[in-house]
Amino acid sequence: MFVQELARAAQLHNDVIVLHHAGKRRDLPGIWYIEQEHDQSLTKGIPLYRFWYRESPVPETSFMLFGMWSLLQAFRYLVKQGHQPHIIHVHVYAFGALAVLLGKIYGLPVVITEHSTAFPRGFLNLRQKLLAQFAFGWAGLVLPVSEALRKAIEDNGIKGRFRVVPNVVDTDIFYPHQSIASDGKSKQILFVGFLDKFHRKGIPNLLEALGQIYHRRNDWHLDIVGDGPARSEYEQLVSSLGLTGNVTFYGNRYKQEVAEFMSHCDFFVLPSMFETFSVVLIEALASGKPVIATSSG
């Protein structure tokens, strides 16, 4: 969704084609595979191609052995299909390095949008820092999504031609509604995000805090919109805290549905451990909702 919003914004003034790295697979008949997405509810009129590459039997080697070559082949495929780009816009430094090579081969300028939390978290090893420096050093322009992220990149000793470009929000979907959010008897709380196994969104902290509040007042309900590998773990935590009647998991929802949740909540919570520039936070603000968030980027 994040890339889709940026692609739609770019499409206002340009023709856009999206090439999506869909990851590794064991069941591929060859080294790589590409297909075009035809579901208009997903593409929003933007040509979208996905490519996969074979999974290596040796752990942590799939991308080096097959992924990089597959990206080059997928790009060549698009060119043969008549999609001749004038600029390459890639997300995050790891793919930025490959995009720079493509730019050199095809004589195209390269722009990198960076939104990885690895920089402020200090998670980059020496190899990754060198890769980021190669990508950012050779790119025509690097677009961190926030000033805090730009500073974090430079604090890692990485230089480049930086220009901060914040994330975008679709105000045709997210805007203040005139209707009252709730009946006034119970506060409707909303969280939207990916439920990852590393707990980056801080859901355990949120649930434990609500567990303490529950003993003082229970006139509230938390809606959790989003899915991920930690969902069952969070559902068990809700049960162990005795919050089953006060917390509902809704799974993934389309943007229009998220906007509906926004319009009906009393306030939005974002307990993230790390963020570079939260899209869902600005969507809540655009919806006219109060936001309670951690200081995380």
Instruction: Kindly report the average pLDDT of the chain as a whole number.
Output: 93
Chain centroid to Cα 48, Å, comes to 17
Q: Which of 266, 217, 270, 210 lies closest to 243, judged by CA? A: 210
Q: Is residue 175 part of a domain?
A: no
Q: Is residue 222 part of a domain?
A: yes
Q: Are residues 97 and 140 in the same domain?
A: yes
Q: What is the pLDDT of residue 128?
A: 94
Number of domains making up the chain: 2
Q: Are residues 191 and 101 in the same domain?
A: no
Model confidence at 172: pLDDT above 80: yes
Q: What is the pLDDT of residue 184?
A: 65
Q: Are residues 148 and 16 in the same domain?
A: yes
Model confidence at 168: pLDDT above 60: yes
CB 262 within 8 A of CB 182: no
Q: What is the pLDDT of residue 216?
A: 95
Q: Is residue 178 part of a domain?
A: no
Q: What is the pLDDT of residue 192?
A: 98
pLDDT confidence band for 183 (50 / 70 / 90): low
pLDDT confidence band for 1 (50 / 70 / 90): low
Q: Are residues 131 and 202 in the same domain?
A: no
Select from 155, 177, 212 the last residue of a domain: 155
Sign for the CA dihedral angle at 284, 290, 292, 293 comes to positive
Q: What is the pLDDT of residue 179?
A: 60
Task: Select the more confidently predicted residue: 110 or 179.
Answer: 110
For tokens 């939390």, the residue is 117
Model confidence at 33: pLDDT above 80: yes
Q: What is the pLDDT of residue 297?
A: 58
Determine the structural domain holding residue 221 and report its residue range: 187-293
Q: What is the CATH number of the domain that holds 253?
A: 3.40.50.2000
Q: Are residues 126 and 201 in the same domain?
A: no
pLDDT (tens digit per residue) in 237-287: 999 999 999 999 999 999 999 999 999 999 999 999 989 999 999 999 999
Helix (H, G, I), strand (E, B) or coil at 223: strand
Question: Strands 48-54, 32-37: parallel, antiparallel or unpaired by DSSP?
Answer: antiparallel
| CA 277/CA 283 separation, integer angstroms | 12
Q: Which two tokens stand for residue 264?
A: 């009906």
pLDDT (tens digit per residue) in 69-118: 999 999 999 999 999 999 999 999 999 999 999 999 999 999 999 999 99
Q: Are residues 122 and 11 in the same domain?
A: yes
Chain centroid to Cα 130, Å, comes to 24
Q: Are residues 20 and 144 in the same domain?
A: yes
Q: Are residues 31 and 111 in the same domain?
A: yes
pTM of the model: 0.86
Q: Are residues 95 and 196 in the same domain?
A: no
Q: Is residue 21 part of a domain?
A: yes
Model confidence at 180: pLDDT above 80: no
